[in-house]
Structure 1
Amino acid sequence: MAGDQLQVLNALDVAKTQWYHFTAIVIAGMGFFTDAYDLFCISLVTKLLGRLYYYKEGSDTPGSLPSNVSAAVNGVAFCGTLSGQLVFGWLGDKLGRKRVYGMTLMLMVISSFASGLSFGKDPKGIMATLCFCRFWLGFGIGGDYPLSATIMSEYANKKTRGAFIAAVFAMQGFGILAGGMVAIIVSSAFKAIFPVPAYQVDPIGSTVPEADYVWRIILMFGAIPALLTYYWRMKMPETARYTALVAKDAKQAAADMSKVLQVEIEAEEEKIEQLSGEKGKDFGLFSSEFVRRHGLHLLGTTSTWFLLDIAFYSQNLFQKDIFSAIGWIPKAKTMNAIEEVFRIGRAQTLIALCSTVPGYWFTVAFIDKIGRFAIQLMGFSFMTVFMFALAIPYHHWTLKENRIGFVVMYSLTFFFANFGPNATTFVVPAEIFPARLRSTCHGISAAAGKAGAMVGAFGFLYAEQAIGVRNTLLVLGVVNFLGILFTFLVPESKGKSLEEMSGEADDDTQADGTELKPKAGHNIRTVPV
C-alpha cells in the first residue's frame, strides 16, 4: 500500500507481549482443546460400542463394530470438519471473524451433548444417530480452525506471532490428553460402582448394562469446555486487520485496538480510503493475480497439510489397534468392556503425556527462533525415519521383550509430528495470505488436511485388513517423505508482518500494481535455499 503502514496495524506488530495476548490464546485455545477432545475421544469408545451393540448370541468372543460401521463412526466427523472449514472460512472473510466465531462454538456444544444422547430402535439406528450428530460436531469444529488461527495471527505482534498461533494449536495436545484421562476416570468409577470380574470372557454377562453410560458420558464431556468459553469469545472485539483492511472502518479499528492495547491510536480514515482506491490490491481467490502471487503458496499449504493428516490421524485413531497388535493392550476376550476402556484410555494418556503434548510446546518455544520452514522440514524427516524404523523390522517389535522399544519409537513419531508439521501447517496459512482472503485460504488448507484425515481414517482401517500393519506403516513412511518434498513450496514468515507476507505492504507493489525491486537486504525468495 502506498505510504506508511497503518498506525493501528503497526501498533499491533510492535506491541509488547501483554495480558490480552494470553487471554486471546486461552479463548481461542479452548476451542482447540474441545476440537481435539471431540475428534479423538471416539477412538476410546469404539470397541465398547462393538461389545454393547454387536455381540452375537452364543459367540465366545466380544462383539466388535463391522468395518464399515467403524469407518463411519471414526470418519464422519472429518467429513463435517472439512465442510465446516470451507464454509466458515469463507464466512469469516465475508461477515467478519467475530460474528461467526460464536456460531461454531454453540454448534460444538449442542452436537457434543446430542452425540451422547444418540438413540435408536436397534444398533443400526443408534450408530446412524451417532454419525449424524458427529457430522455436525465436525462441522462446528471445522469452523474453529480458520477463525481461531486468523484471529490469533491478526491480534499477535510480529516478533512472537508464530509462538502465539502455535500455543492456540498446542491446546489440541491437552484435549487429546484430557480424552484419555476422562476415559480413565469414568471407567474407574464404573468399575468401582458396578464391579465385574476383572478378566472374564465378555459375552453379555460381564458387560454390565451401565456400561452404556460410559461412552455417552465420555462423548458429552466435550461440551463443557466449549460452553465455558462462549461468553469470552463474544466479548472479544473484531480484529483490527479485518475492520481496517476488509470492512474499511478506520475509526472502529482504532477504537477497538486503543482499548485492547491501552494506547491512543489515530483513526486514519484518509489512508483507508486511499487503500480502497489502489489498483491491483483487490484481486479475488479465483483470479490470475492470486494464482501468480499465492498459487504455489496455497498448493504448498494444502499438500503438506493433506499428507501430514494422513499419517497423524491414522496413528491417533487406530493406536489402540496397533497397541493390541503388539500385545501392549491384552486381547479383548481376556477382559471386560469397562476394563478395556480403561486400558485404551491409559495408553492414549501415556502417549499424549510423553510425546504429543511436549511436541506441541517445543514448537511454541522454537518457532520464532528457528522458523516455520526448518521445523516442518525436520518434523517430516524424523517422522519418515521413525515410521520406516517401525515398519521394516516390524516383527522384531512384536516380540514381548521389544514392545517397550516399539512404544518409544511410536511416541517419537508423535513428538516430531507435533514439533513439526502438525503445528506449522496450522500456523503458516494464517500468515501468508491477504486479510480479505486469509480465513478462506486457511479454511481451504485445513480442509485439505481433513481430506487427508479421511484417507487416514477410512484407508488405514481397510489397509490394515488388506495388507497388514507392517505394510501400512511403510505406506505412511512414504507419505511422510512426500511431505518433505512439498514443504519446499511453503514460504518462511518468521519476523515479517502479515502485510509484508501477503503483499499488502508497500514493499512489493506500487499503487499502479507494478512490482518494485526488493530493498537492500530484503529477501523475497519463496523458500530458504
Structure 2
Amino acid sequence: MASGNNLAVLEALDTAQTQLYHVKAIVIAGMGFFTDAYDLFCITTVSKLLGRLYYYDPAAGKPGKLPHNINNLVTGVALFGTLSGQLVFGWLGDKLGRKKVYGITLILMVCCAICSGLSFGSTSGSVIGTLCFFRFWLGFGIGGDYPLSATIMSEYANKKTRGAFIAAVFAMQGVGIIFAGLVSMILSGLFLKLYPAPTFKQDQIFSTQPEADYLWRIVLMFGSLPALLTYYWRMKMPETGRYTAIIQGNAKQAAADMGRVLDIELDVESDKLSQFKAANQYTLLSHEFFRRHGYHLIGTMTTWFLLDIAFYSQNLTQKDIFPAMGLTNKAPDVNAIREVFETSRAMFVVALLGTFPGYWFTVLFIEKIGRFVIQLVGFFMMSIFMLILGVKYDYLRDNNKFLFVLLYGLTFFFANFGPNSTTFVLPAELFPTRVRSTCHALSAASGKAGAMIGAFVVQSYTLDENVKKIKAAIIFLAFTNMLGFCFTFLVPETKGRSLEEISGEDGGGGGGGSGSQNETQMAATRSVSMEGNGRFEG
C-alpha cells in the first residue's frame, strides 16, 4: 500500500494492534447478528404449533396443519422484509452515516419481536395476518443489520485481522441459530412439565392444550432481549473514522474520535483530506465505479445469490435428517408441545454439530488461507456432497443413515467454512467508503432473493415428496454451487491490504476489474512485504 498517500487516521486504524475496542465492536455488532439469526430461525420451531392451534379441524381426524401457502407466508415473510431493509438501510448508511442508522435498526427489531409475540385477532386468519405484518417489519430491521454491521466492523478493524473480525460478527449467526433451538427446547420442556397433555375424548385426540398459545409467543418475544441489551453500547460507539473523514470531510472530528478510541494523538491533515476527497467523488452509477468495481459487484451479488439458493433449500433433506438421527417422531405420535420440543432439539443438535463449527473455522483460517480460497473450496465441496446426496438420495436415506447424516453435515460445514461467511466479508472490503454500505446491501439483497427461490420455488417443487423430484432438486443445487465456484473468479483476494488500497481510494487503481487470482495475490504479497510494525502499542 502506498501509505504516504493515506490519511494518518486511516493508517492508524490499519496498523492498530488488536485491543479492547476491537473486542467491543465485535460483541456489539455480533449481538445484532445473534438477534437476527434467532428471530429468523425461531419461527421454524413453532410454525407447526401454529397449525395445531389455529387450523385444527376435529372432523379431519388428524393434527391441525398450516396450509402450504400460509406456512410459506409465516416462515418466509421475514425474508421479504430483510431484502427490503437491506436495500433501504444500506443506502441510508452511506447517506446519513453508519451510527445514525444503526440504532434505528435495533429499535425496529426490538419493537417488532415483542409485537410478533403479541399478535392479536378474533379469528385464526387475523392472528396469522398480524403475525406476518410484524414479522415483515422485523425482517426489515434485520436487513439493515447486514450492511451496517459488516461496514462498521470493516472500517474499525486493522488490515491484518479485518477478515477474522468481520467473520466473527457473522459467526454470531450460528450462535443465534443454536439459541433459537435451545430457548424453544427449554421453554417447551417447561411447558410439558407444567401443562401435561390432558386426556381428550376420541374425537378430540389431536386437540392442543390451550396453554400452548403462550409458548410460541414467548419464544418470539425472547428475540427482543439481546437487541435491547446492546442498544446502549451501540449508541455509545463513535461514527467510523473513515466515514467521518472521507464522506463528511471532518478531519478534526475523525482524528478526535479515533484518537480517543486508540488512545493516541493523530494529525488532522485537513489539506491532505481535501485532495483525498477530490479523488473519490464518483458515484455508484458512474462509469468510473463500473470501470474499477463493476466485476467485483457482479461477483459478490452472484455468489451470494447462488449460495443462498442452496443454503435455504436445506429442508429438502432436513425433514429426513431429523428422523434419521432419532430426534423427531411423526406428528400424530406426539402432542403439540412435544412436537415443538423435538423440532427444537433437532435444530439445536444439527446447528451445534454441523452449522456452528464452520463459522468459527472461517474466523480461525480466513487470514491464513484467504477469502478467495475458502470460498472456492467451500463451493466445490458443497457441490460434491450435494451431488452424492442427489444421486444416492433414496439409497442413503433408507439404507445408510450414518452416511446420509454425515454428507448433510459436511455440506453445511463447508457452506459456513466457505461462501456463507466469505460472501458476507468480501462486500465489506472491496468497495469505496462512499458506497460501501450500499454495495454490501446490494450483495446481501441478492442473497435474500436466492433464499426466496430456495425456500419457496425449490422446496415447492418437491412438495409432493416425489423421490425423483427431490433427487433432481438436490442435483440442481449442486449445479448452482458450481456456478458460484465459477463466479468467485470475479472477486479478488483482499487479505493483508487496507480498504483504501483495495478500493483505490489511496490513489492506486484498486483491485482491478478482472478479479484475477494471480494479480490480486501478487498485490497482497507486495502489501504484506511492505508492512512495518504498528504505529503504536494497543
Task: Tell me the TM-score range normalised by the shorter chain.
Answer: over 0.9
**Within 2, Cα distance between the matches of 1:196 and 1:395?**
36
Change (3 A) 1:66 1:253: same
Three-state SS of the structure 2 residue aligned to 1:465 is coil
Q: Does residue 1:337 correspond to 2:336, yes or no?
A: yes
Other-structure match for 1:248: 249
Amino acid across the alignment from 1:375: I
**Within 1, Cα distance between the matches of 2:71 and 2:241?**
45
Change (3 A) 1:188 1:502: same
**Within 1, Cα distance between the matches of 2:260 and 2:233?**
16
Alignment of 1:261-300 (within 5 A): 261-278=262-279, 281-300=280-299
Change (3 A) 1:471 1:61: farther
Alignment of 1:125-164 (within 5 A): 125-164=126-165
Instruction: Please tell me whether the aligned partners of residues 382 and 414 of structure 2 are also in contact (alpha carbons under 8 angstroms).
Output: yes
Change (3 A) 1:327 1:283: same
Amino acid across the alignment from 2:305: F
Moved more, 208-217 or 144-153: 208-217
1:402 deviation in Å? Answer: 2.5
- State the superposition RMSD in angstroms: 2.3
Instruction: Please tell me whether the aligned partners of residues 112 and 138 of structure 2 are also in contact (alpha carbons under 8 angstroms).
Output: yes
Alignment of 1:74-473 (within 5 A): 74-196=75-197, 203=204, 206-278=207-279, 281-315=280-314, 321-323=319-321, 328=326, 329-399=328-398, 402-465=400-463, 468-473=469-474
Change (3 A) 1:15 1:367: same
1:57 deviation in Å? Answer: 1.9
1:458 deviation in Å? Answer: 1.2
Other-structure match for 1:504: 505
**Within 1, Cα distance between the matches of 2:65 and 2:391?**
30
Three-state SS of the structure 1 residue aligned to 2:59 is coil
**Within 1, Cα distance between the matches of 2:152 and 2:165?**
11
**Within 1, Cα distance between the matches of 2:325 and 2:264?**
61
Amino acid across the alignment from 2:383: T
Change (3 A) 1:436 1:396: same
Deviations 1:297-344 (A, max 9, x none): 0000000001111111221x6665343675842211111111111111
Instruction: Please tell me whether the aligned partners of residues 3 and 506 of structure 1 are also in contact (alpha carbons under 8 angstroms).
Output: no
Other-structure match for 1:514: none
Deviations 1:166-218 (A, max 9, x none): 00000000000000001110110000001127999995655100111111111
Other-structure match for 1:513: none
Moved more, 215-224 or 197-206: 197-206
Instruction: Please tell me whether the aligned partners of residues 379 and 484 of structure 2 are also in contact (alpha carbons under 8 angstroms).
Output: yes
Other-structure match for 2:48: 47
Moved more, 266-275 or 461-470: 461-470
Amino acid across the alignment from 2:432: P
Instruction: Please tell me whether the aligned partners of residues 322 and 469 of structure 1 are also in contact (alpha carbons under 8 angstroms).
Output: no
1:408 deviation in Å? Answer: 2.0
**Within 2, Cα distance between the matches of 1:245 and 1:222?**
36
Deviations 1:478-501 (A, max 9, x none): 221211111111111000100011
TM-score normalised by the chain length of structure 1 = 0.93
Instruction: Please tell me whether the aligned partners of residues 82 and 450 of structure 1 are also in contact (alpha carbons under 8 angstroms).
Output: yes
**Within 2, Cα distance between the matches of 1:298 and 1:206?**
52
Amino acid across the alignment from 1:28: A
Q: Does residue 1:493 correspond to 2:494, yes or no?
A: yes
Q: Show structure 1 runs of 5+ residues with no match.
A: 510-517
Other-structure match for 1:512: none
Three-state SS of the structure 1 residue aligned to 2:400 is helix
Amino acid across the alignment from 2:181: G
Change (3 A) 1:69 1:348: same
Instruction: Please tell me whether the aligned partners of residues 246 and 433 of structure 2 are also in contact (alpha carbons under 8 angstroms).
Output: yes
Moved more, 320-329 or 405-414: 320-329
Three-state SS of the structure 2 residue aligned to 1:491 is coil
Task: Using the aligned pairs only, state the percent identity.
Answer: 60
Q: Show structure 2 runs of 5+ residues with no match.
A: 511-518, 527-538
**Within 2, Cα distance between the matches of 1:273 and 1:111?**
43
Three-state SS of the structure 2 residue aligned to 1:314 is coil
1:93 deviation in Å? Answer: 0.4
Instruction: Please tell me whether the aligned partners of residues 324 and 405 of structure 2 are also in contact (alpha carbons under 8 angstroms).
Output: no
1:44 deviation in Å? Answer: 1.0
1:477 deviation in Å? Answer: 1.5
TM-score normalised by the chain length of structure 2 = 0.91
Amino acid across the alignment from 1:447: A
**Within 2, Cα distance between the matches of 1:426 and 1:378?**
16
**Within 2, Cα distance between the matches of 1:51 and 1:291?**
52
